[in-house]
Amino acid sequence: MFLHIKQAYLCKYPAFKRKFNLIIYLFIGSTLPLSAQTDIDAIMMGKNLFCTGIMYSGSNWNEYWEGSLKRENFNLGTVSTQMAGPMGNLGVSSRLNVIFNLPYVSTKASAGQLKGFKGMQDLSLWLKWKPVKKQIGKGTLSLFTIGGYSTPSSDYVADYLPLSIGLRSRNISLRGMADYQVGVWTATVSGTYVHRSNIEIDRTSYYTTEMHYSNEVFMPDAAQFNLRMGYRGKEWLVEAVADNWTTLGGFDITRNNMPFPSNKMNMTKIGISMKYEPAYVKGLTFIGGANTTVAGRNVGKSAGIQAGLFYIFNLSGKKSEKTKNN
Amino acid sequence: MKQLFTRYTIAAIMLFLAACSKDIEETNLLTPSLNPTTTDANAGSWKPILLASANEVSVPAPIAKTAPDYTAQINEIKGWQKNISEDDRKLVKYWNGGAILRWNEIMRELVAKYNLPPVQNENGTYPLPNASNPLAYPFFPFSNPPYAARAYAYVSAAQYDALIAAHHYKNLYKREAPYFADQNINALVNKSTLYSYPSEDAVVIGASVELLKLLFPGEQNFIQQKAEEHRRARFIAGANVRDEIEAGEALGRAVALKYVQRARTDRTGAAAGITNGVDLWKEFEQAAIQKGESPWISQEMPKRPPMLPYFGRVKPFLFDSLTVVTKIRPVAPPSTKSEAFKKELDEVLYYSKNANRERIRMVHVWGDGVGTYTPPGHWNAIAAEHMIPLKLSEVRWARNLALLNMSLMDAAIVCWDAKFTYYNPRPSQVNPEIKTLTGLPNFPSYVSGHSTFSGAASTILGHLIPEKASLFTEMALEASFSRLYGAIHYRSDCEVGLEMGKKVGSYAIQRAQNDGAN
């Protein structure tokens, strides 16, 4: 958020001829989830299909919220974050998918002297389960439960905001999601509770709203709401996305202070998410998206884009067009 | 069997919950109750710092144990002890850690809270915090490292003098503690054989409150609340009756007023170098240019005036201002045109480009930048950590921290004297390719403040706790070089700063050897 709330997102794709290819992609943090994704969208990989590829995202901001005060900082200029890394989604069955994501992140400030950081961020894993699929009225209702876990994959530094590459907490998340599709038109809504572990920093004391004599930092939990609606066709998927992340606790950055990992970071983003599966190359999928932050607290007012390239492998040895749908 | 199963289940659940608990263990709350190996009962004969003698401030004789008012005061304690809540017990346990330790922690907290540079005005200038309007932005003070070093020194030195005076009167009046005077009073502290009038905790309260009024004028409510909690803890613990607290606070305040007087005339008021909107500090820039050197230039946007440019002229505690110039001021740094300089600059660039996790750890552990208790506060924390196991008396705690903090303040003075005498640029000013791993301080480079502070602190602490001397030396070296690894200082800034700090520390050792406490 200030940089990134690490959260990975995966996406997949509907495909051709009554079948859907899946693709996964995900991305993180400040470039929140506005493309078709797998841990937060309603698309499932079919059995024995493994969708994998590379996801890239970039975002930047030159204004941020210090508490609720929107400001600039000429000693930071524009802060940019880039992420790239592998994502994958394995169809254990058409109702149970396993998703992973492991991004490399780099940060940079255009002004001032502070050096940007880079490194491997967090490994994220999800189990996505679709217990209910039911015809209701003219459309199909699907219900999902998604459990996630993420953990730092390197010893990167969290206590260097706004240029640290992540926050280091180990997160356990539980998401409930409902999707309703009528023909090519869909709407998906989800709510997530994210339990975040405390983190350790290099310092032996730090000040929040009071002095702490410890290298351990209490990290408040967080909640996320996501709404996406749009067109889900054979070659194209186009969705408008709104996403809200709210930290359930934490404190505001004081006047002209630096941000801290346990700040109350909130943000609301809107954006668009697209996917294209060309009919002429089976299993290949392109992903793109863009988003912007419309409200926030203790985070950058970032705008970002995403792009991804994925391919679906059929682990059962059959052809990739066997990919299945939602 | 079923019962056993239930019990195991409950135990397992408790264990699970404990493992999931996100409560943080604050190390300062683990401090055991003060239980000195020796009481230092003779501390009334130690040499004070500003007081001419231990009895300079008079303390009236206490009422007799047989007086009805004394009985009333004893009964007040019994009243407190009738219903002791869980919160009260926590309070007593907290303050039992030691008056000097706790007020030192309070000070560190205030420093951290106020260590924030003011944001610029619309027109690109910077507002100056105003002591007479501390609650309006920019809040007063901006407790940057020199300001903090001075604050720690004044409070610690005043606490020490006040405790010497308290010891003097304790031995003069020989009032025994309430838990000895009345069998029915429970001692919730470790019993001390020190006489209890005036209360040593109360002189610390009085001295601290009075000085913090001056140093952190916007925090009166917070400070008074802490003072009130401290008093209450002493009553509930059965450690002091009311007149012991009152006499102690009055004594502490009176001693502190001598320090307030000194503080008002120690030239800190002129340290900002800006009078009626005129930038007097530009003279340092001119001097550097006249010498043919590249002057330091603020790299903040917009350019910020340097931090307390005249702090080098503040009146030191351990030596006089002439000594700063004639005995401690270092030789000039390598000229920015020299080969030696180029070599040092390249080394900084190397560390900027080749950071590794271990060096980043050092940079961050010792960063002590914006929003922290500053390097002097860090050395107070280190001193406290290593003094707790030594089971010292309050007065020895005070003496050791006074020696430490006078060293740190004087280190700030000699360091700032060097910085503004030579006014040389930061590495990233000369080579913009150099990116830093910690915030770039807004004042000249030579010599490193962290190094000077650390050299001084490790030297005096090594004298006071000889068995840890080599550890302190190592820490100082790491703190010093973390500034090179962070790419904000040249090697010579660090090396020369450490040496200057050691010199300052040696003056503190001289004092320690002659203060009667050995």
Q: How many Å separate Cα B254 from the centre of its chain?
A: 21
Residue B19: per-residue pLDDT = 53
In a domain, A227, yes or no: yes
Residues of chain B in contact with residue A203, where contact means CB-CB under 8 angstroms, are 364-365, 367, 372
* Low-confidence residues in chain A, pLDDT < 50: 1-37, 320-326
Query: Does residue B147 carry a pLDDT above 60?
Result: yes
Cα–Cα distance measured from residue A213 to residue A205, given in angstroms and rounded to the nearest whole number: 4
Residues of chain B in contact with residue A204, where contact means CB-CB under 8 angstroms, are 27, 365, 381
Interface contact B364-A157, CB threshold 8 A: yes
Query: B205, B231, B264 — which closes off a domain?
Result: B264
Residue B5: per-residue pLDDT = 62
Closest CA to A116 of A159, A160, A154: A160
In a domain, B290, yes or no: no
Give A119's strand partners: A105
Cα–Cα distance measured from residue A228 to residue B134, given in angstroms and rounded to the nearest whole number: 50
Q: Out of A30-44, B342-356, B379-393, B477-491, which region has the weakest mean confidence (pLDDT)?
A: A30-44
B140, B233: one domain: yes
CB atoms < 10 A from the CB of B136, how many?
Answer: 12
Residue B4: per-residue pLDDT = 62
In a domain, A11, yes or no: no
Average pLDDT, chain B: 96
Interface contact B435-A116, CB threshold 8 A: yes
In a domain, B57, yes or no: no
pLDDT tens digits for range B372-404: 999 999 999 999 999 999 999 999 999 999 999
In the block, tokens 């700090």 appear at B501
B123, B242: one domain: yes
Q: How many Å separate Cα B18 from the centre of its chain?
A: 35
Query: Does residue B331 carry a pLDDT above 80?
Result: yes
B239, B366: one domain: no
Give the pLDDT band of residue B482 (cuts 50, 70, 90). Answer: very high
B85, B165: one domain: yes
In a domain, B272, yes or no: no
Query: Does residue B417 carry a pLDDT above 80?
Result: yes
Interface contact B113-A115, CB threshold 8 A: no
Interface contact B301-A114, CB threshold 8 A: no
- Can you give the CATH number for the domain in which A54 is found? 2.40.160.40
Cα–Cα distance measured from residue B24 to residue B411, given in angstroms and rounded to the nearest whole number: 34
In a domain, B499, yes or no: yes
Residues of chain B in contact with residue A213, where contact means CB-CB under 8 angstroms, are 26-29, 105, 381
In a domain, B31, yes or no: no
In a domain, A277, yes or no: yes
Closest CA to B461 of B393, B368, B399: B399
Cα–Cα distance measured from residue A128 to residue A100, given in angstroms and rounded to the nearest whole number: 11
Q: Which of A155, A206, A255 sits opposite B119 (nearest CB)?
A: A255
Closest CA to B60 of B204, B164, B194, B173: B173
Amino acid present at A237: L
pLDDT tens digits for range B234-263: 999 999 999 999 999 999 999 999 999 999
Residue A27: per-residue pLDDT = 28
pLDDT tens digits for range B11-53: 666 655 555 678 999 999 999 999 999 999 999 999 999 999 9
Residue A288: per-residue pLDDT = 95
Count: domains in chain A: 1
Count: domains in chain B: 2
Cα–Cα distance measured from residue B324 to residue B310, given in angstroms and rounded to the nearest whole number: 13
pLDDT tens digits for range A65-95: 999 999 999 999 999 999 999 999 999 999 9
Interface contact A203-B367, CB threshold 8 A: yes
In a domain, B505, yes or no: yes
Residues of chain B in contact with residue A217, where contact means CB-CB under 8 angstroms, are 24
Cα–Cα distance measured from residue A204 to residue A214, given in angstroms and rounded to the nearest whole number: 5
Residue B16: per-residue pLDDT = 54
Residue B9: per-residue pLDDT = 64
In the block, tokens 């693709």 appear at A23
Q: Which of B299, B360, B370 sits opposite A157 (nearest CB)?
A: B360
Quick one: tokens of A94? 């058409």
In a domain, A9, yes or no: no
Size of interface A-B (CB pairs under 8 A): 98
B362, B429: one domain: yes
In a domain, A207, yes or no: yes
In Å, how far is A160's CA from the nearest CA of chain B?
8
In Å, how far is A88's CA from the nearest CA of chain B?
29
At A151, give phi and psi (nearest 5°): -150, 145
In a domain, B28, yes or no: no
| Cβ of residue A255 closer than 8 Å to a chain B Cβ | yes
The boundaries of the domain holding residue B245 are 41-47+71-264
Interface contact A115-B355, CB threshold 8 A: yes
| End-to-end CA, chain A | 31
Residue B14: per-residue pLDDT = 61
In a domain, B297, yes or no: no
Amino acid present at B13: I
B165, B90: one domain: yes
pLDDT tens digits for range B268-311: 999 999 998 899 999 999 999 999 999 999 999 999 999 999 99
Interface contact B105-A211, CB threshold 8 A: yes
B347, B227: one domain: no
B230, B323: one domain: no
- Can you give the CATH number for the domain in which B87 is found? 1.10.606.20
